[in-house]
């Protein structure tokens, strides 16, 4: 998997704005993608997932977009709230070991009231 | 239980000591995973169990690390001769099975500090 240092990308938004968090993945054989939210001192929390046969999936206030051509994934959060502040990770899996998630670089989202 | 449960939540041990970290997956989940997360990084895969057997242990860093799941439910991650570099959060996760699209749920982790 990818490894990153301590300098994670950051995104600061105002409460009520829409947020877009981006992720590039590396394995063209991956066919399942997940977004996780991680608050300080807690484990990753599932947000939304998408399979490679789709390019868009919507949940409650969240949308995931998948562009397989350029191996890019994005998470859109509508009407961002202070409670959305956290580190967001994308993860990919596929092939014969779907449980072996490879996590991408996290993004720190800060929502200002 | 309602979610993945991990104990202890925090463990401080001296270099060279042996530690065990326990994971109780969501009831009925046959797939169980261990990950390790260092500060500022995403979780890194260690090992995956399907039932009692290790389906993929390619992420274990060396032979000091070992995991078991003897009855297909609770799992224990065992670390021998701990080193300061082993300090990290050890995350356990489970899913209904190991197939694609089955949500993988994480526990809150066990924070290991080796001094």
Asked whether B37 and B88 are in contact (CB, 8 A), the reply is: yes
* pLDDT score, position A26: 82
Helix (H, G, I), strand (E, B) or coil at B40: coil
Q: How many CB pairs under 8 A join A and B?
A: 84
Whether residue A21 lies within 8 A of chain B, CB to CB, comes out as: no
What percent of chain A shows pLDDT beyond 70? Answer: 91
Residues of chain B predicted below pLDDT 50: none
The alpha-carbon gap from A52 to the nearest alpha carbon of chain B, in Å, equals 11
* pLDDT score, position A104: 87
* pLDDT score, position B8: 98
Q: What is the pLDDT of residues A49-67, one digit of tens each?
A: 999 999 999 999 999 999 9
Helix (H, G, I), strand (E, B) or coil at B85: helix
In this complex, which of A32, A99, A105 lies closest to B33 when CB atoms are compared?
A: A99
Q: Which residue has the higher pLDDT, A104 or A12?
A: A12
* pLDDT score, position B102: 82
CB contact under 8 A, B48 and A36: no
Whether residue A19 lies within 8 A of chain B, CB to CB, comes out as: no
Q: Which residues of B touch A57 (CB under 8 A)?
A: none
Asked whether B96 and B31 are in contact (CB, 8 A), the reply is: yes
Q: Which residues of A touch B43 (CB under 8 A)?
A: 44, 89, 101, 103
CA dist A26 → A68, A91, B41, B65, B79 (Å) = 11, 11, 17, 27, 31
Longest dimension (CA), chain A: 44
CB contact under 8 A, B104 and A5: no
CB contact under 8 A, A97 and B105: no
């Amino acid at each position: 998997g990818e490894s990153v240092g301590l300098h994670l990308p950051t995104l600061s938004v105002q409460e009520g704005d829409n947020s877009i968090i981006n992720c590039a993945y590396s394995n063209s054989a991956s066919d399942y993608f997940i977004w996780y939210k991680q608050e300080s001192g807690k484990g990753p929390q599932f947000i939304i997932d998408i399979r490679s046969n789709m390019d868009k999936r919507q949940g409650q206030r969240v949308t995931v977009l998948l562009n397989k051509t350029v191996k890019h994934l994005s998470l859109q959060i509508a009407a961002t709230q202070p409670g959305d502040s956290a580190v967001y990770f994308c993860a990919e899996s596929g092939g014969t070991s779907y449980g072996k998630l490879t996590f991408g670089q996290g993004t720190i989202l800060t929502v200002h009231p | 239980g309602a979610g993945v449960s991990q104990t202890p939540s925090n463990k401080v041990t001296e270099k060279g000591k042996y530690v065990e970290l326990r994971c109780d997956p969501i009831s009925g989940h046959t797939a169980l995973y261990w990950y390790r997360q260092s500060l500022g990084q995403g979780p890194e895969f260690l090992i995956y169990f399907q039932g009692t057997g290790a389906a993929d242990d390619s992420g274990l860093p060396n032979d000091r690390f070992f995991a078991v799941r003897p009855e297909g439910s609770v799992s224990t991650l065992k670390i021998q001769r701990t080193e300061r570099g082993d300090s990290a959060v050890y995350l356990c996760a489970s899913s209904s099975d190991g197939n694609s699209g089955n949500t993988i749920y994480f526990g809150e982790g066990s924070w290991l500090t080796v001094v």
